[in-house]
Every structure is written in structure tokens, then in C-alpha cells.
Amino acid sequence: MGDYDWVAFTSANAVERFCAALRDARAFGSARVAAIGPGTASALRRAGVIADLVPEQFVAEAVVDAFPAGPGRVLVPRAAVARDALPEGLRAKGWQVEVVEAYRTELAELSPAALAEAVKADAITFTSSSTVANWLSVAGPDAVPPVVACIGPVTAETARQAGLTVDVVAGEHTIDGLVSALVDALAS
């Protein structure tokens, strides 16, 4: 870690998996830390690390926009399957970027009974592009409830590209923002 100027996290999952492999927060040394949003920043605080950079919008492109110009080295711990907007954007700003796999999402197995219950739901929430792809792989488009809610514009675009109609996109791209937007949509 001492070789990096920055460590940039794109999810609370990445923070939790990455920090679990460290002895303690001192491992960050003098590296500055970026968090994609408040949920990720909160996960960092639980690990004893305060984010130096949290953009106003909670998407990779906003992290890139808020990042200073390079040169230097950035470590990006993230999911095995993720968009390349952050590393590519940072490279374009003069940074040398190393991406490491902190975790991977895997398909769950649904019993026929669980799938039947899911189909009865009034709404479904998607918290990332991978949740869209994985749900459709496991359950198929016929198992999508009538209301589709997405945590942010990137996830919503993935859902639309998969042929889903997106009814709700959280204005604040956090779990709390998603819940609030869904509650508002279902109440109206």
C-alpha cells in the first residue's frame, strides 16, 4: 500500500473485503482515499479510515471528475466484474492505475418456491448492473415484478438495455435513497 498515492473504492463491499485483509488502518500509510459515495465512506469509517474524496454524485464518472490530475499511482479494489469508467478515467488524468479484485458476485440458486414468491412482489430493486444481469440470468424477465427501481443511472441503463422498463431511479444513489424513492413511487 505504501507505493500508492490513492486508494479508490467503488462500493462498501470492496471496502469490507479489502480492509478485512489488512492488519489495521495504518496499512493505508500516506495514501489518500476516495469513496464513490456516502455508503462507501461509511464502510471506510467503520474500518477506521476517513475518505479524503467523496463526490457529490455517486457514480464512477463523478469520482474521476473530482480527482486531481496525476501523476501518481492509484489502487482500485473492486468487484471482479465492473465498469472500467473509473480506471480508464483516472488513466486519462495521468494516473497509473492498478485494479485488484476485492470480491465477486455469484449467481444464487433459487428454489421454485422462492421464485414463485418473488414473482408476486410489487417491486424489485437493483443496486448494481450485476444485480440486473444476475437476476435475469437466474429468474428470467418473466419474474420481474411490475415496478423496477434502480439505485442510479448506470444501473437503470443496464436494466433498460436488458429490455426492462425502469419506473424508479434514486436521486441519491444509496440504499437509503433507493428505499426512499421506491416508497415515494409506491405511495403515489
pLDDT grade for 1, boundaries at 50, 70 and 90: confident
pLDDT grade for 178, boundaries at 50, 70 and 90: very high
CB 90 within 8 A of CB 67: yes
* pLDDT of 107 over the 90 cut: no
Q: Which amino acid is at 95?
A: W
Query: Which residue shows C-alpha cell 420481474?
Result: 144
CATH code, residues 6-103: 3.40.50.10090
Q: How far apart are CA 133 and CA 140, in angstroms?
A: 10
Rounded alpha-carbon distances, angstroms, from residue 161 to 52, 133, 166: 34, 10, 10
Strands 168-169 and 147-150: parallel
pLDDT grade for 106, boundaries at 50, 70 and 90: confident
The full set of domain ranges for the chain reads: 6-103, 112-187
* pLDDT of 105 over the 90 cut: no
Long-range residue pairs from 82-90, CB within 8 A, at least 24 positions apart, any chain: 82/10, 83/129, 83/154, 85/59, 85/60, 85/61, 86/8, 86/10, 86/60, 89/60, 89/61, 89/63, 89/64, 90/8, 90/64
CB 145 within 8 A of CB 121: yes
Q: Which amino acid is at 113?
A: A
